[in-house]
Chains A and B, each alone.
Chain A
């Protein structure tokens, strides 16, 4: 009973909520970041806890620099981003390692092994070593909270930003967490002017570089002693060094083995690792993605059992760890090969589907961007042909047309949030360098793919307060784009015509397709009804790729459109593409909607 009573005092938190909790308890004064799966829920959870100024910054570089300022002013700051966001923030990051901090700075790098919702699976532990910034890696929600608090202390004690690196299976896993109250942490220092610390001109930076090396040495000493790293001795014939969620998979697969569980993955404790190695028979390192620990441990002169290269790709699982260490074959899932896959799709009623229907008709080569709109690449739309990183599509279109000319039917598409994140500079570049490209901004009034966060185009901030709304039309004009059009993408013919004209214009152009994300709109129209007599089975309606509309015909038969009235949003795009008016919107009171 007593045990149960103890547990009842715990709360159930996702890793993301636990990170927010840790920052709140540690007395953070500022939270900044840019949404990105799997990190997006951290700042909203921090806002909910209260007492902390939080903002969605325009991008990750901005977020980190805002924190740099608040840190100079003596505040503890939490900065959140997904792994690829760290690429955007890398410029300030590398030099902040030189300047260090005043108030503690904790940077959350939420990595996404297996790319559940990302364009690559880069292993951001490499950033810790490259920037010489210590990194903690939580293995569950409790550690996510505890390590975040600890990271603030380390940041101030060692005068450095500190990384905490959760992965998708930590961010989006829930577990029981013992929590505490918020600490009162005063602003540190008096904002004394310290040019040798904060002005990184070569003369100053050279001195700081030496300080960094001394800091790393002291961090290694900490790693040797700290309870962030721990030994769990069991069967000594097999020793496993692991951290983060990989530790949990290894523990699940080999509960009886001996473990050296690392909570700090950079820098490592060489003596502790050598000691552990000397106590066990075969030594394995279980880690997701790069051989980051493995290579450092090998460099210490410690023998580690080799692991097949295939285990360096994608996230691990208990079964994969069994296979990796024990050679046990995975229970083969034998999935039925004939099952139709169910990839993510643009939602039923997504207003911006029409842009892709139009671009497909115009046979455009479409340079795309990050977000929901990458889904335009999937069949049957197949109307998006590049996706590299935030903001890239605009610049790729410009590059293509600089070598292929205006005749190349190229269109860049970008979402509204992505445009503010890193599309604006590309548009300036096009105007400045006499570009000719057409850029379509799919303005759904939100950051949709990551769960619907606000951004500068909305005029509302993360804390729900009004913010100055960025006017895309005026911005484009100010940049020097003279051909700016605004369309309602629910009007399919008008949308297609606007893009067609913009493409024909030898000057650069911007088309803003503006309509709110269907997930943010409660009203819906009735589902259309098929007039079987009129239908000519042409398949045009099915080819818009709406998840509420499917072809019930067997293989080789003529299209037989069927509408799932529960999923249908009543957007009427299928009605608009039907050449014979066989799809009819029932008048109010009719139909089953």
Chain B
């Protein structure tokens, strides 16, 4: 156990900040203070939707009981950090005495993107990121008959599911030709389009927001699209991605770009100041990743990594093979490795879709070496450990398909499709059975 007395102050009680606090506490008894203006206790941001839908109460999305924090001696302060003064090593709050730090961790997360749309400041217009956003949506829901969602990504489809669960009509504006077209290849995107419509969401692809119209009380009353259509609504959800929440750091001397600039050790340009999670921006992108990664899993890995450094074991952020997951209404999505919307140089993609139209697999591999590059899975669960090994050891696509049964993570008794998938692969991608054993 590390006996250091250095005070670690963490700005933000999301997954990154809390992971840091927990991991430091496992190794060290030094004082830790976590500051958040958003909530008293850590909660799972990705689960906010389930509170609105009535699957859970807010208390259920808090992974630790309240006694946990005191028992583990992790100090919690509910305040908004207004300024960081790195010269005297303290953070200033909106509601109390400044808090001095020895080590400062910035884990302040994101805020929803807005692009200067006319009317974006009206009442009834919102993003969906924070607990306050959810409370605002809750406040706007009574009397809301119709809502318009702008932005066809992960938060947009979650909002569609949320609003639909309360029997509020939804029009979903998507700029691209299909849902999440910037990430998903067109076949998968088309599959999700169909599923969105199956849930009675009015999906409008290739459609942009032009402006939001107000009524006499400054409430949003309709949106106008670039197709010249005016859609009556009481709620407008702006879900076109997120951007680092770092305005309070302006003038602090900490180097800022899109986010807080960090090196691979998650260190900023100022000694003893670190940044992790959504708000951190790598100087250089790591493998094929983005410089700012606003993903639950990467936030968690950064928190674990930084805790090592804070406890004396300076460790670089090494997230390993990319993975992610989501759920689009009833269709689960998992991805391992890289599958781009269109194949890159020397890449081939193999796509299989179940005749029912709700399960699909896309595998990307190198056409010269046949190295497996990545997989998109829809409606079929896959084993993380299997693909982590495949990607780390750079095994071939043929090996993967030969051992495909081992990859399956669906519940017992489920129908399996390995043979169908292999047969489809063999038709056009041959060479399957010549591979070496796994």
A and B interact:
no
Which residues of B are at the interface with A, using a C-beta cutoff of 8 A? none
Which residues of A are at the interface with B, using a C-beta cutoff of 8 A? none
